[in-house]
Amino acid sequence: MVEKFEIDSSVSKEEILKEFQALDVVSQHEGAVESMAERVARVKDSKKMPLVMVIMISLTSLVVLGILVVIISKYAGNVQKVEGVKVPAVVGKTSSAARQMINDADLRPVESIIPSTQPKGIVVSTKPTANTELKKGSTVTMEVSGGK
């Protein structure tokens, strides 16, 4: 009759040999005991291997993440936010007053004379219209009345 034994993976090779010696079967099954002890040792090592792999992958990920943070923070400081400015409301003002307001808003005024019923030199419209947000230095076309 063959007895079945459960082998605890935390048991050392020597402890397994002692158990088999106590059962007086070591001489008959010494090779089997040796291979079973080796298998237990391999099982122990194979359980450690995934933990080592997890630690290695985690450390590698942390290093890569750290490098990315350094690169992003280094170049993020070089990105300048483009500040928008609003087109001032200049319709109804004289072309010289409108020109000054547009210059003060860091925009470039361009004057276009159009026929109008408004008095000569009065701003009739702007392109783009008032309160439109533009990049600094953008052009604003003032349509100025050529007179009646």
Domain boundary pick from 76, 101, 125:
76
Nearest 5°: CA angle at 49, between 45 and 53? 170
Residues of the chain with pLDDT under 50: 26
Q: Are residues 38 and 92 in the same domain?
A: no
Number of domains present in the structure of the chain:
2
Confidence at residue 47, expressed as pLDDT on a 0 to 100 scale: 58
User: What predicted TM-score, i.e. pTM, was given to this entire model?
Assistant: 0.46
Domain boundary pick from 48, 76, 104:
76
Q: Does the residue 8 lie in any domain?
A: no
Q: Does the residue 1 lie in any domain?
A: no
CA 40 to chain centre: 46
Strand partners, 113: 144
Confidence at residue 14, expressed as pLDDT on a 0 to 100 scale: 74
Q: Are residues 103 and 68 in the same domain?
A: no
Q: Are residues 68 and 95 in the same domain?
A: no
Q: Are residues 88 and 70 in the same domain?
A: no
Strands 108-114, 139-145: pairing kind: parallel
Q: Are residues 60 and 107 in the same domain?
A: no
Confidence at residue 15, expressed as pLDDT on a 0 to 100 scale: 73
Q: Are residues 60 and 22 in the same domain?
A: yes
Q: Does the residue 71 lie in any domain?
A: yes
Confidence at residue 44, expressed as pLDDT on a 0 to 100 scale: 60
Domain boundary pick from 34, 59, 76:
76
| Residue 78, amino acid | N
Q: Does the residue 135 lie in any domain?
A: yes
Per-residue pLDDT of 43-56, as tens digits, reads: 666 556 677 778 88
Q: Does the residue 3 lie in any domain?
A: no
State the residue range of the domain holding 28.
13-76
* pLDDT above 70: percentage of residues in the chain: 64
Report the chain's terminal Cα–Cα distance, integer Å.
124
Q: Are residues 19 and 61 in the same domain?
A: yes
CATH number at residue 132: 3.30.10.20
HEC states along the chain? CCCCCCCCCCCCHHHHHHHHHHCCCHHHHHHHHHHHHHHHHHHHHHHHHHHHHHHHHHHHHHHHHHHHHHHHHHHHCCCCCCCEEECCCCCCCEHHHHHHHHHHCCCEEEEEEECCCCCCCEEEEEECCCCCEEECCCEEEEEEECCC
